[in-house]
């Protein structure tokens, strides 16, 4: 699609995540789902299961209470199909 | 980790001691974004008392004062008086700022000294285990009011407006972009700025008052119960529906305390030089 930003990856820092799942709640494109991995603080972490749905609105990033989440956008003019 | 965090947080203090889903971490991020856009990290001086929200500045890599319960504002005034070039920001909670330190809030606002006070309102004394706070809604059940709170909540914005603050805003953690914008305005404001932030506390407010400790339930409660208003005169309508009005309520220019002090110093020096009477 034209003029639409896409995410390259969504990083969740396993040192700081407390598994509050607010990222899953605020995401309108169902990118996140509860994952099975535990963070360093022993909370169940979310998993960015559908990164291809992400449109880099960064709502999850601004709502993350532990600043553990980073959305890395695809570079514009990079590899495009 | 978030790039803002990489840049401005004290890594050795991490992770945050806030509970999962707490709004305080969002306030750290919103504040850091404002600081980053203004580029004022070297001018910052932060002060905090005691409470969950008073831990916010401890994580920021700037000069921090940690003071007795409720006494953050007097210390911040002293800091501003000795270093007028610093941008002094006080982080305080609703118990710290409105109950124990309520008197200091009134007099700092009356003095119109250029500090920013961020009152994080989670409607309860969260750190000590969920006792009733001055900002707790009427009828709310807490640890110390098991049959419902009989007192009306105290509105920090109205108190500050009445006391003479020159910038008064209220936003919530569910409106992070507006919060960042307001922090930017407050940091640049010449005069006393009060920013009240409605924040969620899933563990105490959520479980005891609202009925669920889920973080998304508490965020949704804020989204449902906080209504942004353009015009401060509409505040009454929103409050009549049992909701909390948000917005930038007041922003005026008045004589700032430290500028007046400098002006007076100049005047006194001149009269002395002339040998005249004081």
Domain ranges of chain A: 7-73
B41-46: long-range pairs with CB below 8 Å, 24+: B41/B8, B43/B85, B43/B86, B43/B87, B44/B86, B44/B87, B44/B89, B45/B76, B45/B79, B45/B83, B45/B86, B45/B87, B45/B88, B45/B89, B46/B88, B46/B89, B46/B90, B46/B91
Q: By residue range, what is the domain housing residue B7? A: 3-253
Alpha carbon distance B149, B205 (integer Å)? 13
How does pLDDT run across B59-116, given as a tens digit for each residue? 999 999 999 998 999 999 999 999 999 999 999 998 888 999 899 999 999 999 999 9
A16, A22, A61 member nearest B14 (Cβ): A16
Residues of B in contact with A39 (CB under 8 A): none
Model pLDDT, residue B271: 86
Model pLDDT, residue B277: 58
Contact A13 B1 (CB under 8 A): yes
Model pLDDT, residue A35: 86
Whether A80 has a pLDDT exceeding 80, the answer reads no
Residues of B in contact with A20 (CB under 8 A): 20-21, 202, 215
Cβ B43 vs Cβ B86: under 8 Å: yes
Whether B275 has a pLDDT exceeding 70, the answer reads no
Mutate: best of A39, A66, A70, A72, partner B, most B CBs <10 A: A66
Q: What percent of chain B has pLDDT over 70?
A: 99
Contact B28 A67 (CB under 8 A): yes
Whether A59 has a pLDDT exceeding 50, the answer reads yes
| B270 inside domain | no
Model pLDDT, residue B182: 94
Give B248 to chain A, closest Cα distance, Å.
21
Contact A19 B20 (CB under 8 A): yes
Model pLDDT, residue B276: 59
pLDDT band at residue B246 using 50, 70 and 90 as cut-offs: very high
- By C-alpha distance, the chain B residue nearest A25 is B216
Model pLDDT, residue A77: 61
Q: What is the pTM of this model?
A: 0.92
| CATH classification at residue B34 | 3.40.50.970
How does pLDDT run across B28-69, given as a tens digit for each residue? 999 999 999 999 999 999 999 998 999 999 999 999 999 999
Contact B215 A68 (CB under 8 A): no
Alpha carbon distance B67, B74 (integer Å)? 10
| B272 inside domain | no
Contact A25 B216 (CB under 8 A): yes
- By C-alpha distance, the chain B residue nearest A67 is B2
Contact B9 A67 (CB under 8 A): yes
| B156 inside domain | yes
B20, B24, B177 member nearest A20 (Cβ): B20
| B264 inside domain | no
| B93 inside domain | yes
Model pLDDT, residue B230: 87
| B275 inside domain | no
Work out the average pLDDT over B217-242.
Answer: 88
Size of interface A-B (CB pairs under 8 A): 74
CA dihedral B217, B223, B225, B230 (to 10 degrees): 170
A26, A41, A70 member nearest B15 (Cβ): A41
Q: What percent of chain A has pLDDT over 90?
A: 25
- CATH 3.40.50.720 is the classification of domain A7-73: no
Contact A67 B24 (CB under 8 A): no
Whether B278 has a pLDDT exceeding 70, the answer reads no
- The verdict on ipTM greater than 0.90 is no
Comparing B228 with B1, the larger pLDDT belongs to B228
Model pLDDT, residue A8: 87
Model pLDDT, residue A3: 57
Whether A5 has a pLDDT exceeding 90, the answer reads no
Contact B219 A26 (CB under 8 A): yes
| B138 inside domain | yes
State the total domains in chain B: 1
Model pLDDT, residue B233: 85
Whether B176 has a pLDDT exceeding 50, the answer reads yes
Whether A81 has a pLDDT exceeding 60, the answer reads no
């Amino acid at each position: 699609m034209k003029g639409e930003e896409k995410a390259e990856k969504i990083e969740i820092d396993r040192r700081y995540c407390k598994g509050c799942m607010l990222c899953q709640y605020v995401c309108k494109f169902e990118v996140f789902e509860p994952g099975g991995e535990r963070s360093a603080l022993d909370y169940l972490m979310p998993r960015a299961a559908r990164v291809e749905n992400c449109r880099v609105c960064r709502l999850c990033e601004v709502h993350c209470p532990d600043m553990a989440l980073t959305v890395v956008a695809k570079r514009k003019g990079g590899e495009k199909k | 980790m978030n790039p803002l965090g990489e840049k401005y947080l004290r890594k050795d203090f991490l992770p945050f001691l806030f509970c999962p889903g707490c709004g305080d971490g969002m306030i750290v991020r919103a504040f850091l974004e404002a600081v980053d856009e203004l580029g004022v990290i070297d001018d910052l001086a932060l002060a905090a008392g005691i409470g969950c929200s008073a831990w916010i500045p401890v994580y920021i890599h700037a000069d921090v004062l940690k003071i007795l319960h409720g006494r953050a504002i007097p210390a911040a005034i002293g800091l501003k008086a000795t270093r007028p070039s610093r941008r002094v920001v006080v982080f305080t909670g609703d118990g710290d700022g409105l109950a124990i330190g309520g008197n200091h809030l009134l007099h700092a606002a009356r003095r119109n000294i250029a500090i920013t006070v961020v009152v994080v309102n989670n409607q309860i004394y969260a750190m000590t285990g969920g006792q009733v706070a001055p900002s707790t809604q009427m009828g709310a059940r807490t640890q110390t009011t098991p049959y419902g709170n009989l007192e009306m909540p105290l509105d920090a914005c109205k108190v500050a407006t009445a006391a003479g603050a020159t910038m008064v805003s209220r936003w919530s953690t569910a409106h992070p972009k507006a919060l960042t914008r307001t922090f930017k305005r407050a940091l640049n404001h010449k005069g006393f700025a009060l920013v009240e932030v409605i924040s969620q506390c899933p563990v105490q407010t959520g479980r005891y008052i609202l009925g669920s400790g889920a973080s998304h339930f508490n965020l949704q409660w804020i989204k449902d119960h906080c209504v942004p208003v353009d015009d401060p005169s509409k505040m009454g309508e929103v409050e009549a529906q049992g909701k909390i009005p948000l917005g930038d309520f007041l922003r005026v220019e008045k004589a700032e305390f430290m500028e007046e002090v400098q002006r007076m110093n100049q005047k006194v020096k001149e009269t002395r030089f002339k040998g005249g009477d004081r």
